[in-house]
Amino acid sequence: MSNTDNKLFLRYFIVLVFGVLIGAGGLALYLVPQLNNISSKVGELKSINNQLSSEVDNLKSVNDALGAKVKSLSDRVAELSVRSVSVSQEEGKIVYWILPGFRRLSPSVFGTPDNPMFGNDRLEWAINVSSRLPQPLGSSVPELLRKLPFLVAAPEEMRGFSPEGDYILKVPTLFSDKARIVSGSMSIEFIDKVPYDTMGPPINTSDVVNANITFTDPSGNNYKLVVKHVFMPPLPGYETGGGVLLNAWHHGTTGTGSPLMPKLFTYAAFWAFGDIVVDGEVIEQNVVIHGMTTQVVRDKNYRLMLDEELPLNIDNTPAGQLHHTHIVVFPIQITKNGPVYHPLNLPFILPNGKPQPFIHVMFEQDVISGATFSNVPEFGVGNSSNASITIKVSAQEWFYTPNRISVEKGQVITIIFINNGTIPHNLFIDGYNLTTDTINPGDKYTLTFVADVAGEFVFWCTVPGHKDQGLRGVLIVNN
């Protein structure tokens, strides 16, 4: 290559280098602002990321706080779902020991001799249903019902009439009108954690009863009941709310509890098994104990009312209050083979020379806390004054319920007459010359008057032939 060619090559090379440098410079002039912009965007993104991290931390804190609140609310809901009622009566108040005797039968529950209800059919149904229970209950419960049919029914062959003409269960039971004054005290806490009876073993419940129950019998022996464990009676039709039942109706036609007791409002009830201690010695173990605080169902003469005779006027109660507490120890023992009939071997001996086979004690001056309606005096008909009384009288073929009414002279009497029969009836009171209208089945008529004349006054239905067939009664106005 000549010198001229070398110089020309060098010139082109220099021009090329300068071109590249100029292009690179231009590219640099373009890229630097872009890179600066990118760097700025990266900084902004870092700032946003930091803000998001901060928000995430805040959300985590809020979530933790909400979680704590939710747990607190859940704990509170669980706490509120556990309901409790407390009942107590101190020593020196009115306590009754119930003796065995016959029980008057409510026509609205047990029907009539010609049309019986809650009798043999009910008993056979209960035996049949209970025979399908898992063993050993499938054998022990039917046998128990055969020995103690009054748990679910009143067999027709055990029914009859009293000398006064009342339709009765003739065999002695714990639902009698016979009672003796004794002494005692009690405090019971009913804790309801289970809303209804559950499947499985009867003791599979978390309901709890804390009880301190002491009393004497008519012979002066000192008793203490030791409640061990709440259970759900495996009897057909019973619904005991897990073994502790609060603010509900039971007995009567409800299917829960013996129909020999009237249907009653129950502030609290429990079913459990435990021991009987007499004068410091355990005499019975694992026997069935039932306690319930209810509306008053015994009048001032200590008669156990029928369904048709409730609610009672407060003036016609044993202690001038509208609730009382029943404690019953049934002749039933819980064994490995299930519940079995077991007459109690008590030191209190009956006139027939045998021990009383059950315990039924009534606390008439109890105090309730935590129960619905426990402080509502209007729960019973009437008030604490002797000025007035309201009585429900129903008519059926062929009897009135009640057929014997006792009031005080000077009281304002309101009779709510109800036709529960199948044909028209009325009610006429001789001596006062008062009568209701003749009303159709299902209708009511209210009759109000002042009982200003003392004596006994027959009342009857004036529809021809009805009086002669038995539709009559007596009003007693005490001086």
Which CATH number fits the domain that encloses residue 434?
2.60.40.420
So what's the pLDDT on residue 381? 34
Domain final residue pick, 332, 351, 379? 379
CA distance 296 to 36: 93
Q: Helices 137-147 and 120-130: crossing angle, nearest 10°?
A: 160
Same domain, 87 and 70: no
Residues 340 and 256 in one domain: yes
The domain total for the chain is 3
Closest CA to 208 of 182, 175, 231: 231
pLDDT at 197 (0 to 100): 86
Strands (E), 65-203: 83-89, 95-98, 101-104, 159-161, 167-173, 179-182, 184-192
**What is the DSSP-derived secondary structure letter of residue 303?**
P
> What is the span of the domain harbouring residue 396?
388-478
Do 400 and 415 belong together in one domain?
yes
CA distance 60 to 177: 70
Residue 83's pLDDT is 82
Q: Is 176 found in the same domain as 53?
A: no
Residue 441 forms part of a structural domain: yes
CA-to-CA distance for 461 and 473, rounded, in angstroms? 10
Contacts of 393 (CB under 8 A, 6+ apart): 400, 401, 402, 405, 415, 416, 417, 418, 427, 473
Q: For residue 342, what pLDDT is reported?
A: 98
User: What DSSP designation does 259 have?
Assistant: T
The token duo for 384 is 């604490």
Residues 228 and 305 placed together within one structural domain of the fold: yes
Same domain for 217 and 346, yes or no, is yes
Q: Which residue has the tokens 């939710």?
A: 70
Residue 374, pLDDT score = 52
Q: Which of 337, 362, 379 marks a domain boundary?
A: 379
- Chain-centre distance for alpha carbon 53: 56
Report if residue 5 sits inside a domain: no
> Which of the listed residues 326, 356, 379 is the one where a domain comes to its end?
379
How many Cα atoms occupy the beta-carbon half-sphere of 282 within 13 Å? 8
Domain for residue 76, yes or no?
yes
233 and 348 inside one domain: yes
If we measure between CA atoms, which residue out of 347, 435, 424, 401 comes closest to residue 166? 401
The segments of the chain whose pLDDT lies below 70 read 1-43, 45, 62, 67-82, 371-388
**Residue 6 belongs to a domain:** no
Residue 4: inside a domain? no
Residue 416 lies in a domain: yes
Q: Is the four-CA dihedral 311, 315, 316, 317 of positive or negative sign? A: positive
64, 191: one domain: no
> Is the domain of 75 the same as that of 94?
no
Q: Would you say residue 122 lies in a domain? A: yes
My answer on whether 289 and 163 are in the same domain is yes
Q: Are residues 261 and 152 in the same domain?
A: yes
Listed in sequence order, the residues at least 6 apart from 67 whose beta carbon sits closer than 8 Å to its beta carbon are: none
Same domain? For 227 and 306 the reply is: yes
Provide the residue type at 444 as one letter: K
| Residue owning tokens 């079913």 | 271
Helix, strand, or coil (residue 91): coil
**Residue 444: closest CA among 389, 374, 395:** 395
Q: What is the dihedral of CA 32, 37, 40, 42, to 10 degrees?
A: -100
Residue-level pLDDT at 388: 67
pTM, two decimal places: 0.66
**Is 2 within a domain?**
no
Q: What is the pLDDT of residue 62?
A: 67
pLDDT at 332: 98
